[in-house]
Amino acid sequence: DTGVSQDPRHKITKRGQNVTFRCDPISEHNRLYWYRQTLGQGPEFLTYFQNEAQLEKSRLLSDRFSAERPKGSFSTLEIQRTEQGDSAMYLCASSYSTANYGYTFGSGTRLTVV
Amino acid sequence: KNEVEQSPQNLTAQEGEFITINCSYSVGISALHWLQQHPGGGIVSLFMLSSGKKKHGRLIATINIQEKHSSLHITASHPRDSAVYICAVGSDKLIFGTGTRLQVFP
């Protein structure tokens, strides 16, 4: 297993376009998390899954954002009608659901909306 | 007031110096994490601790649950330690501090 993979690494899009990011977690991990990080700030929680069930969504996640994990393996995060304020690093992490196991983070997808 | 506060925000050091980064939190936690982030974004987990002290190489992390405070120490700092160090707390999801940017000069 090569860790948590995110694709693409970088995405530049025009305002108003839709974008989709993919995260492949460590295969044994049943939890998958999405975080967003803007410049100079710590990451902020967006949503997380246990297997295929989306257990929690942050109030930060507007209706333009949707995340799926259809078979409990990889996950996608889609942003519709992108805005300049969506420009950020989108980080994915995975873990076991048992308490007090660590997280493994992906390298992130850097989104720039122009 | 943020739920997780780190200090200092920025730190510069000469190679070989002893480094301390502090983290205070205001929420109840099951675990506290210290993470390292290099330019380009990737985050590496350094420590997860719920009590006491952990050591890995030149890195030491301590936590005082009663005082809701943790410290990350780097002994004999090296330029390759230059990175952003982030404290995070939580179990189901993490609440992050804003990070401490460390630069170690030769």
- B98 contacts A107? CB cut-off 8 A: no
Contact predicate A48/A34, CB 8 Å: yes
Place of tokens 């420009």: A87
The confidence score (pLDDT) of residue A84 equals: 96
Which residues does chain B have with pLDDT short of 70? 1
- Write down the pLDDT at residue B97: 94
A16 interfacial to chain B (CB closer than 8 Å): no
Q: Which of A103, A109, A111 to mutate to test the interface with B (most CBs of B within 10 A)?
A: A103
pLDDT of residue A71: 87
Query: Span A93-101, mean pLDDT?
Result: 78
Residue A55 has pLDDT above 70, yes or no: yes
Using alpha carbons, select from A52, A85, A88 the residue that is nearest to residue A70.
A52
CA B18/CA B24 separation, integer angstroms: 20
Q: What are the φ and ψ backbone dihedral angles of B65, each rounded to 5 degrees?
A: -65, -40
**Contacts of residue A98 in chain B, CB cutoff 8 Å?**
none
Residues in B closer than 8 angstroms to A102, CB to CB, are 33, 45, 48
Chain A nearest CA to B91, separation (Å): 7
Distances (CA, A) of A69 to A13, A66, A88, B54, B102: 24, 11, 22, 35, 36
> Is there a contact between B96 and A43 if contact means CB atoms under 8 Å apart?
yes
Using CA atoms, how far apart are residues B13 and B106, in angstroms rounded to an integer?
A: 9
Rounded to an integer, what distance in angstroms lies between the CA atom of residue B47 and that of residue B61?
7
Segment A51-62 mean pLDDT? 90
Of B61, B47, B57, B99, the residue nearest B78 (C-alpha): B57
* Mode of pairing for the β-strands spanning B83-90 and B94-96: antiparallel
N-to-C CA span, chain B: 36
3-state DSSP assignment of residue B63: strand
